[in-house]
Amino acid sequence: MIYRYTASTHQELVRAFIREINRHTPPHPFRPITILVPNMDMARWLQLQIADASGISANLRFMLPAAWLREQFEALEPAARRSLLDKSQLQWMLYTLLDEDDGTRAWSHLNGWVERIARRAGGETGGELHQRDYASGGAGGDTCGELHQRNPYPAAVGSGDAAPQDTSAPDRVSKAPGTDGRVSGGFSAAISRARWDIASQIADAFDQYIMYRPEWLLSWEGTLVQNDVTGKQPDPREVRWQSALWKELVNRWPQVPNRAGLWYRFMQESGGSAGESNTAVFAFGLAALPLPVMKAIARHARRNEWYWFLQRHAVAPDSYFAGLDLYSRQQEEAFREVVEEEGVDAGVTRCDADVKPAPPRNNLQRVQGVAAGGPALPLDEADTGSIRIHVCHSARREVEVLHDYLLDLFETTEVRPGDVAVVTPDPDAYRPFVEEVFPASRQPMALHVAGARRGVGEAGTDVMLRSLNLVGTRYKVPDVLDWLETGPVLGDLTDRTGLRHTLHNWVMRQRIRWGIDPGQLQRAGFPLSGRHTWQHGIDRLLLSWLAAEGEDVVVGDLLTGSTVAGQETGALLGRLATVINALASLQHHSETPHTIPRWCDILSDFATQIFTESEDGRQYAGPFRAALLSLQEQAAQLNLTAPVSFPVLRSYLSGILDTTGLGRAWNPGTITFTGMVALHQLPFRVVAILGLNDGKLPGKTPVSAFDLIPQSPRPGDRSRRDADRQLFLDYLLTPDTRLHLSYTGMRQKDNKELAPSVMLTMLEDLLAEQFPREQTSFITKLKTVHALQPFSPKYFREPTSPRFSYSRKYRDLAAESGRSRRARKPLFETWRSDITPPTELTLTDLQQFFRDPVKSLLRMQPGIQLDDADVPGESAEPFDFDHLTGWTVRTQLMRTWAESGELAYADLQTYLRRDGLLAEGQAGKRQMNRLIAEIKAFTGYMQEKIGERPALTPLEVDATVRSASGTTYRIAAAFPYVHEQTAWTFEAGKGDTGVAEYKVFRAWLQHLVLNLQHHMVSRSVFRDIREFAFRPLTPQEASSRLTDIMTFFEEGYRRPIPFFPACMKLYLNHIRDGISPEIALQQIEEELTVTDHFKVPEHVRETNTTWIAEAFGDESPVLQDASKTLCTPELVREPLQPADLDQYQLFSLMASRVTDVMHRDLLDKTELAAL
């Protein structure tokens, strides 16, 4: 007997349920009452309702329908307790049968599609590295997606007929002699992966047959005769090969019982073989069940009592929303047919038949009344919040709007977080934004995300999934670094020791680009040495760890890398070497098929190396080791002894481990975020549906070319579109307080309007057509169009506006955008440095300071860090020298020639190759040839100047100089290239486009220090044979000039100084052209605002840095102190006095006392030619 109880509200349904539960006492105190529920969230909610009504909830056993049915099967067949045929076993069985096919079976035509898919995946090019990166789809990727979505030859794929005979789809994969049908190289892996994907799709179809069409499988294996199979049958051509495949599967593995056979035995024995009779079984909320499960329940109800409680919305047949209730009515029709067919008595009781509907309290309840077929009562125009549609520009904005909406709700009503459900048809897209906007620790906005991975074991599972996805790829630097910086691998260690930046520096300095080790490249057919691979970079670091600090050591062809010193740094290097070696070993093993037990050993060893042997390490590896143990048990049970390729194993493990989105959804007392299915039968006062975008709800039903169920539909079959329509109706009619609907309705780029879901369009049509026309203007107000940015002033103008925000940060930003931006004061107006400049310097120290005095000063201050962190992002080996490397290499060659008179090209080439600076193959040869030609031209020019054998001798200077304040500074310098009263400087850069002013100043500074003790000419020569020189100076002249420079050096230690050589030269040029100083400064300021993005002038580059912006604020650096007297060369007096720093504007003073004097010391072209 089946007693059905229905109600439109949960309150009445639960009252009836608790009344029946209390009326039935179990026959034995240790035998609980069985209650079937659609999910464990419903079970948890029911327990709380029973405990709240009765004071206790005990001796109840909640089960899913599948678990209950399996319990009945286990009573019939004890072997079912150990193992019952599931989808994962079906995958291995079908893969084995497809792999062993000799071309004579009914399903042999599938091999033609296997090869076709493998070719399209690029497998025949000879390796994964040659064609594409499998990081995006290698792990479980659907390489036969064309069969899953579309079928170019439907009759061929779905039937027993052979595929079209062409070169792209042969009858079967030809087996090469001695290869057991497996092609060598990358094509073999592509074949295996395609075969696994087809086996997976067939397994999915067979799994659906077990659930929805068990009689088909029974007839295919001979248990039922064809005449006993009722209903419309699929195409016999398609049945031919599938039936043969299923029969072979059952005969090959008879030790594994399947649910179709057990279901048949259960039905034949009238559901009484489990020994149950006159037992009460309860079901709550089972709204949709497959037809065979309904039949099993009806058969069981012949000898037992079933109490089935189900919410049924009172949707009138002629209601505007009758189409949304189609799925529910189909289930009702299927239930009536089953009850009639099985001859079971079934009574239906409407629990709320005598309950008079309460008058609607808000507009949401008025809309719900119309959906139920009631009259369209006028909307309350004072209620603008019970139902509202929000139109946003992005998913993130939808979540931000919801956050403010809920804050206002908790502030102004009695609604609590546990009363709110947030659902979306696309949870993967919205989950990151939900977790960011709703902090888990902040009350009352704490939000529970269903299925979120938070435990230690889940973090380890993520690491292993990413590890499997890396295998077979190019191992690009960004991908591997992203994997390394996860917590279980190196993230915990680098965060604890603060060495993340060190790891990035190692990767950049060792020039790691791609490839796990040289062996991977060679096995893939690349003629490369592997100097840019991860393993080679680690080997260089290990050699540096063993060598003395700063020592260059060569072992074989291996050169030391970055300096590695310190215990923590050494520990990081050790862990890095361990995990990279483990990844390289896994890559090596992945290139050869292995048996499943061997694969389990390999992966277990890999997990041991990735995770430490600590307690956390064991917890990290726990779920992965459990999956390996389950795989080993399956292999033993199914006698799987054939070698398996790595892509197949990866697909299987990814499907087992990747459980994102599963798990308990409902969490009492907090806001719950999940997909659409989990919570639709639970009563919530407030429901928010995000992501109602076009095409998302209802979703599309996946179509497989192998699934024959769509060819013979029956009541009770699954239908994604009908089920989604029912979900929307459930969420529309469940809440009694608020309904929040949102979608991305405008494009961020151009504000173009985007269409919403048809469900939302239907609701809008209902509001427009069912309610009085005079309220049309009010109905349009129920839709709120939001601004692109959350800090728009629109959210903070009117307290009663539907657009509002509780964010203090956005409020401040909106206030700033609403008025003119406040000028940021220069740093030195409110701050002075208390750092004392050093009195003993080298010439290099002085040159580096004046290269960027502002940056030098701010870097010395604690708490100021404006440098961008170096994050390795390059994943291709260098094919030419970058600017800095080229400059370094050319400088080294020039110095070698100057010191020895020879060019050691061979030694330098070997060094560059070992250091990874020289490209492989012909590209590297072209690099060196260009370099040699440039340097030969330079040395030839120099030999003309100073003779066949350069007689360059070094010279050292140690001198003192005083600043205007009287402080004495000691400056040490070395001049390695001196010849006949001329000091040479070799510049590796080019001078054809003009010499940068800072290079002229650097050479002049060197010239001044030299002439403190030696009366000499200083000449700077560029590699393209262009040069400039300074005239000899007396010690008094050099000392006077250095006094000015050291005075500005002192000032640069107290505050940021606008020392911009190119701008100062520009200022002097304007003065020489007869322009007043005031106008000259204004013209410079105008020129600084005009930039060409393709060629930025030097004077713009030197003033456009983050350091300058921090130091000078919103004011122009060249206009600082413009109210003071502007200095010109005519106003310069000797010597410089400290009071001049306060009297004159600093920029003009430095231009007049430094740049002007420097250019007067330069030799002109005639004087330079005379040298």
740 φ, ψ (degrees, to nearest 5)? -110, 115
Rounded Cα–Cα distance for residues 707 and 717 (Å):
13
- Give residue 366's pLDDT: 86
3 φ, ψ (degrees, to nearest 5)? -105, 115
Rounded Cα–Cα distance for residues 623 and 603 (Å):
13
Rounded Cα–Cα distance for residues 515 and 592 (Å):
18
DSSP assignment, residue 795? Answer: G
| Torsion angle of C-alpha atoms 838, 839, 840, 845, degrees rounded to 10 | 50
- Give residue 112's pLDDT: 85
Mapping DSSP to helix (H, G, I), strand (E, B) and coil, where does residue 269 land?
coil
CB atoms < 10 A from the CB of 1103, how many? 21
CB atoms < 10 A from the CB of 769, how many? 10
The model's pTM:
0.76
Buried b / exposed e across 64-82, counting CB within 10 Å, b at 16+?
bbeebbbebbbbbeeebee
The first and second tokens of residue 122, run together, are 């690029």
- Give residue 154's pLDDT: 33
Rounded Cα–Cα distance for residues 225 and 221 (Å):
9
DSSP-derived secondary structure for 273-329: TTS--S-EEEEES-----HHHHHHHHHHTTTSEEEEEEE-----TTSTTGGGGHHHH
Rounded Cα–Cα distance for residues 209 and 224 (Å):
15
Helices (H) and strands (E) in the chain, counts: 47, 21
DSSP assignment, residue 1033? Answer: -
Q: Do 698 and 720 meet the contact criterion of CB atoms below 8 Å apart?
A: yes
State the DSSP H helix or E strand holding residue 735, giving kind and residue range, or none if neither: none
Q: Do 480 and 534 meet the contact criterion of CB atoms below 8 Å apart?
A: yes
∠ CA 668-674-678, rounded to 5° = 80
| Domains defined for the chain, CATH in brackets | 2-82+265-350 (3.40.50.10930), 87-256 (no CATH), 376-449+666-786 (3.40.50.300), 456-657 (1.10.486.10), 840-1170 (no CATH)
Q: Do 544 and 560 meet the contact criterion of CB atoms below 8 Å apart?
A: yes
CB atoms < 10 A from the CB of 1093, how many? 5
The dihedral sign for the CA sequence 257, 260, 263, 265: negative
Q: Do 950 and 894 meet the contact criterion of CB atoms below 8 Å apart?
A: no
Cis omega (within 30 of 0) for bond into 698: yes
The first and second tokens of residue 646, run together, are 């790595």
- Give residue 1127's pLDDT: 92
Among 950, 955, 944, smallest CA distance to 898 is for 950
The first and second tokens of residue 808, run together, are 């203090």
Question: How confident is the chain (1171 residues) per 10-residue block, as mean pLDDT?
Answer: 88 90 77 90 90 87 91 84 84 92 88 84 45 32 38 35 35 34 54 90 92 90 66 79 92 89 85 60 90 91 91 75 79 87 87 81 85 77 87 94 91 89 90 83 69 62 90 91 89 84 87 88 81 89 82 76 81 92 94 94 93 76 90 92 92 79 67 84 91 88 82 82 88 90 92 91 80 70 89 82 85 70 59 81 92 86 59 63 72 74 73 75 78 79 69 85 93 87 77 74 93 87 79 93 94 90 92 91 79 65 82 79 87 84 90 92 77 62
Among 956, 1024, 953, smallest CA distance to 988 is for 1024
**CA distances to 206, 239, 703 from 707, in Å:** 8, 10, 8
The first and second tokens of residue 886, run together, are 């080229």
Mapping DSSP to helix (H, G, I), strand (E, B) and coil, where does residue 741 land?
strand
Rounded Cα–Cα distance for residues 595 and 373 (Å):
64
Q: Do 792 and 393 meet the contact criterion of CB atoms below 8 Å apart?
A: no
The first and second tokens of residue 1163, run together, are 């030799």
The two beta strands, 953-962 and 968-978, are: antiparallel
**Can you name the residues that pair with 5 across neighbouring β-strands?**
309, 349
Rounded Cα–Cα distance for residues 614 and 661 (Å):
29
Rounded Cα–Cα distance for residues 366 and 259 (Å):
47
Q: Do 1059 and 1150 meet the contact criterion of CB atoms below 8 Å apart?
A: yes
- Give residue 135's pLDDT: 29
Among 197, 173, 182, 191, smallest CA distance to 94 is for 197
Quickly tell me which residue has 């260089």 as its tokens.
540
CB atoms < 10 A from the CB of 263, how many? 25
Cis omega (within 30 of 0) for bond into 357: no
